[in-house]
Structure 1
Amino acid sequence: MQKHKSIFVFVIILVAVAIAVAVRIPPRLGLDLRGGSQLTIQVKTTDQIREITAERLQDVLKIIENRVNGLGVSEAVVQTAGEDQISVQLPGVNDPSQAERVLGGTAQLEFRTQKPGTEAQFQVELQIRQQLQAEQAALKSSNGDPAAVQKNQESLDRSNAALKDLFAVTGFTGKTSGMPPPTNSHQWLA
């Protein structure tokens, strides 16, 4: 009888420890149970890029991964799906339209030079933009009035446009590959 009693006490203690561990370390739920968004991005050809190669698909995959990292989503999964699609799983992101706007936008790198004589105006515009960004962050963190957030965003957009006007287009863009050549060559691929 004593043997059965000690086994019973041991089992009760073991169950209590298991429950305590399960409560402290919750199981990792999948995207379907935890909630989140899954997007499939179709990579399309353009006038400049007539064929989607594996290399181009990997380039797009890296861009999407960088954008996902910019969203701050933990445990996101970005992978190729077929020859011209990329699947993106974003746990905890319940607004797929926001994720689609961030991930689906077309980015184009463009270099500009500052117009001569605009240095002082640049400093003023930069301070204005920094102040507007701080106000926007404060409004969003305090769940401020949506109209105030929108008004501040419009001011921020005007500030960004004013800053952009201080720079002249150089014609140098990110349309070229910029991939380094093989090791024994002294040229860059463009």
Structure 2
Amino acid sequence: MQKQRSLLALILVLVITAIILLVQFPIRLGLDLQGGAQLTIQINTTEEITEITAEQLDAVKTVIEGRVNALGVSESVVQTVGKDQLLVQLPGVNDPQQAERVLGGTAQLDFLNQKIGTEAQLQVEQQVLQQLQLNQEVLRNNGDGDAIAENQAAINRSNQAILELFESSGLTGKNLQDARPQ
């Protein structure tokens, strides 16, 4: 009898502990249960690049990961599939078309010259942008969607203001033969 009570008490303690753990550490649902978007990005060759190397695929993957981070999606997955594809899983993303626009855009490298006499204005604009980016991080942690969208619009305006302090130099990424980070 005493053995049964001890066993019952142990089971009760284990059940209560399990409930507390489930409340404290909720189960993270996968893409199939939570909902979200899954995109497969096909990397195409061009006249200049006739074959996709593993290094180029890794560089594209790094760019896509940066764009996914800019979307503010947590628990995302970016992985290579084959020699010329990337699989991107975005849990909780309700608008796959917007995700596709952000992720599928073509990156373009342009070298710009700063306009003469805009040094002080550039410093001010960079400080404003830095503050907006800090605010964005706080807003993402709070989860206020409207405030995040409004702050993102302000970041876009600030980036545009900084861009207007520069002018084209006529040099683009097409002029590069090979580049690597140091």
TM-score, with structure 1 as normaliser: 0.69
Counterpart residue identity of residue 3, structure 2: K
> Unpaired segments of 5 or more residues in structure 1?
182-190
| Distance in 1 between residues matched to 2:71 and 2:45, nearest whole Å | 26
The secondary structure found in structure 2 opposite 1:123 is: helix
Name which one, 1 or 2, has greater alpha-carbon Rg: 1
Counterpart residue identity of residue 179, structure 2: G
Which residue of the partner structure matches residue 48 of structure 1?
48
Which residue of the partner structure matches residue 179 of structure 2?
178
After superposing the two structures, state which structure 1 stretch, 172-181 or 4-13, moved more.
172-181
Counterpart residue identity of residue 11, structure 2: V
> Unpaired segments of 5 or more residues in structure 2?
none
How many angstroms does 1:64 deviate by? 0.7
Alignment RMSD: 3.4
The secondary structure found in structure 1 opposite 2:107 is: coil
Name the CA shift for 1:143/1:27 in 2 (closer, same or farther; >3 Å): closer
Counterpart residue identity of residue 168, structure 1: E
Name the CA shift for 1:165/1:73 in 2 (closer, same or farther; >3 Å): closer
Which residue of the partner structure matches residue 123 of structure 1?
121
How many angstroms does 1:50 deviate by? 2.1
Query: Per-residue CA shift, 1:124-178, capped at 9, x if unaligned?
Result: 9x76xx59x97xx89xx6848x9xx7xx88x949x93x76455332233334231
Name the CA shift for 1:9/1:63 in 2 (closer, same or farther; >3 Å): same
Percent of residue pairs identical: 52
Query: Per-residue CA shift, 1:72-111, capped at 9, x if unaligned?
Result: 2222111111121100011122211121111111111211
Query: Per-residue CA shift, 1:29-59, capped at 9, x if unaligned?
Result: 2111122211110111123222222222111
Counterpart residue identity of residue 173, structure 1: T
| Distance in 1 between residues matched to 2:89 and 2:145, nearest whole Å | 29
Which residue of the partner structure matches residue 185 of structure 1?
none
Which residue of the partner structure matches residue 99 of structure 1?
99
Name the CA shift for 1:17/1:48 in 2 (closer, same or farther; >3 Å): same
Name the CA shift for 1:23/1:172 in 2 (closer, same or farther; >3 Å): same
| Distance in 1 between residues matched to 2:15 and 2:25, nearest whole Å | 15
| Distance in 2 between residues matched to 1:143 and 1:79, nearest whole Å | 31
The secondary structure found in structure 2 opposite 1:80 is: strand
Structure of higher RCO (CA pairs closer than 8 Å, 6+ residues apart):
2
